[in-house]
Amino acid sequence: MNINPVHVTTAVIEFHNWFRTIGAEYIWCHGANFDEPLWTAVCRRLPTFIPWKFWNVRCTRTCYMLAQFDPKTFPRSGTHHNALDDATHQALCVQAAMRILYETAPT
């Protein structure tokens, strides 16, 4: 249960402002067919803009597969299925997978 609920419109506006403020270009999802399509549907329903281009959607699972990285082997903190904890863990796992890819890339 959330003790400080935020209306969906407020959440979208705050996220989009943050996304633009940091100069983000890509959106990473843990499954390209779940997170981003849900967010896009909410944006269209409000209606509001989508702050990324459709070609800048990235999938953590593809990154893990290419690096032959198992995120279950990576130390985790926080609570499973807590949005912030899950996102933090996924970002750390993507960083670990990308390090593997950079280290094994031909020069």
The H or E element spanning position 104 is helix 83-104
Is 88's pLDDT higher than 80?
yes
Q: With the C-alpha atoms ordered 33, 42, 10, 52, is the resulting torsion angle positive or negative?
A: positive
In this structure, what token pair is assigned to residue 97? Answer: 């997978």
* Tally of structural domains, the chain: 1
Q: Is residue 2 part of a domain?
A: no
Is 1's pLDDT higher than 70?
no
- Confidence class for position 4, pLDDT limits 50, 70, 90: confident
pLDDT value for 54: 93
Is 76's pLDDT higher than 80?
yes
Is 106's pLDDT higher than 70?
yes
Scanning the structure block, which residue is given the tokens 């209306």?
A: 7
**What is the three-state SS of 59-100?**
EHHHHHHHHCCCHHHCCCCCCCCCHHHHHHHHHHHHHHHHHH
Q: Is residue 63 part of a domain?
A: yes
The whole domain housing 26 covers 8-104
pLDDT value for 11: 92
